[in-house]
């Protein structure tokens, strides 16, 4: 199998499987319990929080475990709106965010928020002029993704956080770092953000677990009320298998992320080069500054969905868009980048992890050459 859909989800690392299994079979206690099995679970919880905090260069107390990246994003947007809507109505985001931001913004708009959806440049990169024009004293939150899940565009989070805080009106800065975590530097000290969302299953951790960084001193309302877990901010008995797995993934990432990112960058560059050199009528949709994990390419005159299934026949897995939108028609990201309909129709996202190799890319290119030329030939014959 050649798995190139790592932005949709990743294969759990053996260390993650081990940590999850340990919690499911041996250390199954409730971390709130006062006896030994409970205390053991509490230790696992603490260790996992410390690993995630280390990966973000923050204090463990600033890390809240959630059920996913989606929950982390919902918590920030709804929490900031609820607690600050009397101070200002404007929320600034981009038109290329994940639906876990966009759908929430739409709900907040129905409650009176003035949401600005910034356009992006034609290559998917951040449009700073539009941002500068939108940021005003009425802005309470800026939420911009760190890496776009379809184009791989890296957004200038550090610069944005500096501008947001220079406003001096208490405006807060959130980044959805789900696609950046493990690929780029996610030190919150470095970035200067107030909130950061991440997700376990994008970094070889389990599904159904995420985390949210909230800078100490910032208070937003609790998302789930109940037994008071997660410092009463996110009640519910902790998802210990998930949290232990995320802790194990964060530990691996703390040791290896730079090497892993360099490997991904190399594989990506190799695939890009070979595609450009050997397959005609292609367009690279990812910007020059894209993350090492994503390469978006249009094979003009081909239907990406057909290519996906042809490659599937060879056990090569790619995506026609983000996992959540691939079952829907079109892509809001590629549309926002003003791609022509035929470019959108032929767009494929390759997304990498450190396990992908150049040999795998050789196979992928050979298959792509065959399937793109046969599709194009068939189409031409049909339209004669
Ligand atoms: N944000 C981005 C940028 C994503 O790519 C995803 C998932 O694809 C999410 C949020 C949602 O994360 P989760 O699947 O953990 O809810």
Across 230-255, average pLDDT? 97
User: Can you list the alpha helix ranges (DSSP code H) found in the chain?
Assistant: 14-25, 36-56, 69-84, 99-110, 128-134, 157-166, 188-191, 240-278, 304-313, 332-336, 341-345, 358-383
Across 212-222, average pLDDT? 97
Give the distance (Å) from ligand 1 centre to CA of residue 98: 7
pLDDT attached to residue 105: 98
pLDDT level of residue 125 (50, 70, 90 thresholds): very high
CB-ligand 1 contact for 149 (6 Å cutoff): yes
pLDDT attached to residue 326: 53
What confidence tens digit (pLDDT) does each residue in 331-343 have? 999 999 999 999 9
Query: Going by CA atoms, what residue is nearest to atom 9 of ligand 1?
Result: 69
What confidence tens digit (pLDDT) does each residue in 352-381 have? 999 999 999 999 999 999 999 999 999 888
Query: Going by CA atoms, what residue is nearest to atom 10 of ligand 1?
Result: 69
Examine the pLDDT at 322 and tell me if it is beyond 70: no
CA 282 – CA 230 distance, rounded (Å): 49
68 is known as an active-site residue:
no
Across 38-58, average pLDDT? 97
Examine the pLDDT at 321 and tell me if it is beyond 90: no
Examine the pLDDT at 306 and tell me if it is beyond 70: yes
Tokens 């709804």 belong to which residue? 78
Examine the pLDDT at 327 and tell me if it is beyond 80: no
One DSSP character per residue, 46-79 reads HHHHHHHHHHHTS-GGGEEEES-HHHHHHHHHHH
Per the rule left: phi > 0, alpha: psi between -120 and 50, beta: everything else, 142 is beta
pLDDT attached to residue 329: 61
Mutation test of ligand 1: which of 179, 198, 204 has the most ligand atoms closer than 8 Å to its C-beta?
179
What confidence tens digit (pLDDT) does each residue in 56-108 have? 999 999 999 999 999 999 999 999 999 999 999 999 999 999 999 999 999 99
What confidence tens digit (pLDDT) does each residue in 261-303 have? 999 999 999 999 999 999 999 999 999 999 999 999 999 999 9
Give the distance (Å) from ligand 1 centre to CA of residue 199: 7
Of the candidates 295, 296, 300, 383, the one whose C-alpha atom is nearest the C-alpha of residue 340 is 300
CB-ligand 1 contact for 70 (6 Å cutoff): yes
CA 263 – CA 329 distance, rounded (Å): 33
CA 192 – CA 24 distance, rounded (Å): 37
What confidence tens digit (pLDDT) does each residue in 157-212 have? 999 999 999 999 999 999 999 999 999 999 999 999 999 999 999 999 999 999 99
Do 147 and 180 form a contact (C-beta atoms < 8 A)? yes
pLDDT attached to residue 139: 98
CB-ligand 1 contact for 100 (6 Å cutoff): yes
CB-ligand 1 contact for 210 (6 Å cutoff): yes
pLDDT level of residue 328 (50, 70, 90 thresholds): low
């Amino acid at each position: 199998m050649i798995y190139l859909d790592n932005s949709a989800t990743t294969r759990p690392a053996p260390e993650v499987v081990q940590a999850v299994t340990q919690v499911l079979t041996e250390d199954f206690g409730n971390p709130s319990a006062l006896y030994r099995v409970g205390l053991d679970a509490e230790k696992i919880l603490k260790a996992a929080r410390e690993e995630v905090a280390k990966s973000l260069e923050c204090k463990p107390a600033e890390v809240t475990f959630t059920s996913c990246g989606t929950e982390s994003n919902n918590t920030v947007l709804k929490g900031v709106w609820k607690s600050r809507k009397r101070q200002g109505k404007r929320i600034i985001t981009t038109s290329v965010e994940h639906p876990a931001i966009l759908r929430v913004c739409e709900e907040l708009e129905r409650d009176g928020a003035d949401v600005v959806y910034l356009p992006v440049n034609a290559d998917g990169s951040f449009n700073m002029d539009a941002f500068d024009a939108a940021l005003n004293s009425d802005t309470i939150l800026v939420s911009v993704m760190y890496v776009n899940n379809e184009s791989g565009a890296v957004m200038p989070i550090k610069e944005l956080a500096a501008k947001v805080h220079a406003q001096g009106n208490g405006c807060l800065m959130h980044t959805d770092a789900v696609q950046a975590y493990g690929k780029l530097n996610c030190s919150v000290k470095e970035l200067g953000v107030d909130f950061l969302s991440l997700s376990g299953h994008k970094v070889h951790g389990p599904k159904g677990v995420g985390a949210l960084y909230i800078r100490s001193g910032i208070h937003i309302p609790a998302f789930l009320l109940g037994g008071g877990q997660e410092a009463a901010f996110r009640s519910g008995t902790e998802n210990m298998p998930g949290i232990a797995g995320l802790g194990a993934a964060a530990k691996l990432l703390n040791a290896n992320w730079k090497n892993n990112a360099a490997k991904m960058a190399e594989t990506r560059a190799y695939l890009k080069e070979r595609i450009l050199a050997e397959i005609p009528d292609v367009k690279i949709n990812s910007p020059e500054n894209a993350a090492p994990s994503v390469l978006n390419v249009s094979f003009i005159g081909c239907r990406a969905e057909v290519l996906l299934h042809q490659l599937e026949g060879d056990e090569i897995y790619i995506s026609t868009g983000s996992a959540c939108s691939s079952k829907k028609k079109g892509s809001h990201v590629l549309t926002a980048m003003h791609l022509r309909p035929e470019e959108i129709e032929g767009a494929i996202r390759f997304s990498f992890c450190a396990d992908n190799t150049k040999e795998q890319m050789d196979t992928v290119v050979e298959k792509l050459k065959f399937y793109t030329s046969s599709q194009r030939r068939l189409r031409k014959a049909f339209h004669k």
